[in-house]
Structure 1
Amino acid sequence: MEHERLCDEIVTQTELLTSSIRDGDMTAPVPSCPGWNVGQLLRHLGGGQRWAEEIVRTRAAAPPPDDHFRDLSGYADENAAVVGPWLRDGAGRLAATLRQTGPDADVWTPVPGRTASFYARRFAHETLIHRADAMLALGREFTVADDVAADALDEWMELGSLPMMLDLKPEQRDLLGPGRSVHLHATDTPAEWLVDLTGDVIAWRRVHEKAAVAVRGTLTELLLLVYRRRPVGGLEVFGDAQLLDFWLERVGFG
């Protein structure tokens, strides 16, 4: 997805989120983010958006403190009428700053690249997934456009297969071995992914290819699956189901 579209999605996903929680229980627990309620989830997301905006606006060479959206103990009893506009304001500021700087501005990033484009994509999809968290917590339907869901899955694959991840999470090396591969197949749109675990690093490609285990579901179901926002149950699994479970256990982030 292009930089401008990703900036748009930061705002769009935030607006979809805030419009859906106006009459929601801000104290409802978020099962996919243990220890948080909905209000705390929103404060985490908004704090992260503001953190990213500061990095891009100041062309930061190092990350600013992030305690304000990690320690959420002070946000246990939020008011949707307060946190909703606050969240939209932060999303608008981030999108505006990203548009002004452009995708190639040199900034600190937690992964190789050092361009503002990282934050446009990361926070478009960070906002998307946390919208899913809120909808699941409140028992409401979560839908997403196919192109957004596919790009979110692509980004998840790209970040999860960075060689540095094997240093950050050495346990992921246990996934690698002969004959190990995972195929994700969307049933509602032409989209497929092959995760290759047979080499020295995790690799992936968009292709229809036989694998040790294949899982079939709608594109949204697959997105929620890899982000561990839904269980495997209810999806079609062919082949080595234990490998699928092992892979999902070891590669999760976000």
Structure 2
Amino acid sequence: MTLQGSLSHEAYCAQIVDETTKFRAILRDAELSATVPTCPDWTLADLARHLGGAHRWVAALVATRAATDIDEADIPEGDGPGTDDAAALDAWLADGAEQAVAALREAGPDAGVWTWAPVRRAGFWARRMTHETVIHRADAARTAGVAFDVPPEVAADCLEEWLQLCALPLATEHRAEAAAQLFGPGRSLHLHATDTPPELNAEWLLDLTGDRLAHRRTHEKATVAVRGPLTDLLTVIYRRQPADSGRVEVLGERVVFDRWLEWASFG
């Protein structure tokens, strides 16, 4: 398993800063005490602290070339400012992203560092933090009721990374009961972005016939197909938008897609 991304290390680093800047812009005009619909145990301020804490955690892992995990409780300022003052939270978020990017740029993509995945390189964290920030910006945008879109090449890589992570053995082991309902003979899922140029190849065939996910970029018939604009496809697959929102079409055996959504989760 390579967990190979389609962007350069520098492109990921630049995107982390850009996505964090957009995330911060949403927070400036939003009510920080608002509940995040896609993470209902969190307020918008909690979401910001989670994201900023993740940036600082990765900065510490990469800067120290950690061979094992670092307890997030040991990260300086990892919990954020002492209050939910908007200006303090904004500055803390900006600083955390800069710390992560500075560490990643200094290390380069091939530096050895602990990760929770089979690939133990700094490049894993550049890609992972890019997409962590993308998806949490989607959370913030939905909470604040503002538009959300992502550059197509970033959205396609974000979806591809999610499928690569879902293909790891630990994904099936983590949710064994849901996996037993999802995987089996004659089951497949086709994801089709309808608004991208052919060269982006934003179509995926998810083979669910074995005991774990296999996928490839292709146009191919499947048990169930999900079609729509790439950003909407991404947010539906990440469960940041309901499949019944009207933004995507679900064609075929809907129960297979519903089981996929139940299984494919970080939770």
Q: TM-score range by the shorter chain?
A: over 0.9
1:116 aligns with 2:122: yes
Work out the CA distance in 2 between the residues paired with 1:93 and 1:67. Answer: 17
Question: Which position in structure 1 is the counterpart of 2:4?
Answer: none
What's the secondary structure of 1:194's corresponding residue?
A: strand
Matched to 1:58, the amino acid is: T
| 1:39 and 1:77 in contact (8 A); partners too | no
Question: Which position in structure 2 is the counterpart of 1:188?
Answer: 195
Question: Which position in structure 1 is the counterpart of 2:249?
Answer: 236
Matched to 2:236, the amino acid is: L
Q: CA deviation at 1:49?
A: 0.6
1:175-214 C-alpha deviation (Å, 9 max, x unpaired):
1111100001111114111110012321111100000000
Matched to 2:189, the amino acid is: V
1:212 aligns with 2:219: no
Work out the CA distance in 2 between the residues paired with 1:23 and 1:226. Answer: 28
What's the secondary structure of 1:214's corresponding residue?
A: strand
- Tell me which of 156, 181, 195 is aligned to 2:162: 156
What's the secondary structure of 1:36's corresponding residue?
A: strand
Question: Which position in structure 2 is the counterpart of 1:5?
Answer: 11
Question: Which position in structure 2 is the counterpart of 1:176?
Answer: 183
Q: CA deviation at 1:162?
A: 0.8
1:127-179 C-alpha deviation (Å, 9 max, x unpaired):
11111101100111111110110010010010011122122221224311111
| 1:47 and 1:68 in contact (8 A); partners too | no
| 2:56 and 2:100 in contact (8 A); partners too | yes
Q: CA deviation at 1:75?
A: 8.0
Matched ranges for 1:60-209 at <5 A = 60-67=66-73, 78-171=84-177, 172-189=179-196, 190=198, 191-209=202-220
Work out the CA distance in 1 between the residues paired with 2:82 and 2:41. Answer: 10
Matched to 1:194, the amino acid is: L
Q: CA deviation at 1:73?
A: 10
Q: CA deviation at 1:74?
A: 9.3
Count of residues in Structure 1 that have an aligned counterpart in Structure 2 = 252
Work out the CA distance in 1 between the residues paired with 2:101 and 2:232. Answer: 28
Q: CA deviation at 1:59?
A: 0.8
Q: CA deviation at 1:229?
A: 0.4
1:112-139 C-alpha deviation (Å, 9 max, x unpaired):
0110011000000001111110110011
* Uncovered stretches (5+) of structure 2, i.e. residues with no partner: 1-6
Matched to 1:30, the amino acid is: V
| 1:40 and 1:76 in contact (8 A); partners too | no
1:35-76 C-alpha deviation (Å, 9 max, x unpaired):
11111100110001100110001111111112589xx99989
What's the secondary structure of 1:21's corresponding residue?
A: helix
Matched to 1:106, the amino acid is: G
* Uncovered stretches (5+) of structure 1, i.e. residues with no partner: none
1:251 aligns with 2:257: no
1:44 aligns with 2:50: yes
Residues 112 and 74 (structure 1), Cα distance of their counterparts in 2 relative to 1, 3 Å cut: closer
Q: CA deviation at 1:14?
A: 0.2
Work out the CA distance in 1 between the residues paired with 2:160 and 2:96. Answer: 26
What's the secondary structure of 1:231's corresponding residue?
A: coil
Runs of 4+ that moved beyond 4 A: 72-77
Matched to 1:215, the amino acid is: V
| 2:80 and 2:89 in contact (8 A); partners too | no
Matched to 1:178, the amino acid is: P
Residues 76 and 184 (structure 1), Cα distance of their counterparts in 2 relative to 1, 3 Å cut: farther
The share of aligned pairs that are identical, in percent, is 51
Q: CA deviation at 1:226?
A: 1.0
